[in-house]
Structure 1
Amino acid sequence: MAEDLAIRKGNKSEQYRSIVPQIKSLLSGETDLVANLGNICAALKEQFGWFWVGFYLVKNDELVLSAFQGPVACTRIQKGKGVCGQAWEQEQTLIVENVNQFDGHIACSSKSQSEIVVPILRNGKFIGVLDVDSEHLAHFDEVDQLHLEQLLSLVDFSSL
């Protein structure tokens, strides 16, 4: 596939229906996990214009920053700390409409106003999260959750 994306306007579901097959094509035949995670972040950020999109992967009992798009970020997050650490502890997707009202939020940037964190589990093992931040309040919902969870199912994490 060419490295250009066809950015689609429209409602959120239409945008996902357009970008997910393009991401699937980008992943096809590529075995390097970091390259694939980087392209996922870039494609999502380009399509949706989110403030920050990135992955944290479990290493030595903490989440460690991996591929991302956006400003510099927190490098390490403990289990149970912040939205990412809570998603790890609960092993479920968390949608936060206002991060300033989330007890224990880790503010990597004061510009972030809402967040969705999608856990990555394979064969019953928690291996990381996809973390997405927006500069707008209440930006994420169940539509994002559904499509981001489906998108993560396309990624081969077997190298971890």
Structure 2
Amino acid sequence: MTTLYEIDAETIDGETKSLREFEGKTLLVVNVASKCGFTPQYAGLEALYRKYAGKGLVVLGFPCNQFGAQEPGPESEIASFCSTSYGVSFPMFAKIEVNGDKAHPLYKFLKHAAPGLLGSEAIKWNFTKFLIDRSGKVVKRYAPTDTPQSLEKDIEAAL
């Protein structure tokens, strides 16, 4: 399997970005949605990013419409919503699929490295989170119900 840093992803602005740009950083990768019960977690994710960015944390948001069609709009609408509603300043990417045959290579990598409950690799819902250390190793997978604040100790340890 490929390494994390060999994967490219399209930004929310339509540019191709190599994840190699984040080498040496601690990453929190999250599949996000604007019309989900967990959407208020954007505030907590932004708070984590602002608190720990200077120490090397980068939050990466990947919009996904695979769960209850809770991210139906185009990237421009998603970017506007995130900025206006939650002041999101962490990197956001283009809408992707996280499950199925068209799952983004990043999510194939993450799910294989950190399976969920009972070994299932499937992402169950929006706001599933993956913590990745500075070497590109997946440290832990978190459920959508795990709040950003509840990850702080693990993030501090990974920094």
**More relative contact order, 1 or 2 (CA 8 Å, 6+ apart):** 2
Higher relative strand content: 1
Instruction: Say yes or no: TM over 0.5.
Output: no
* TM-score class normalised by the smaller sequence: 0.3 to 0.5
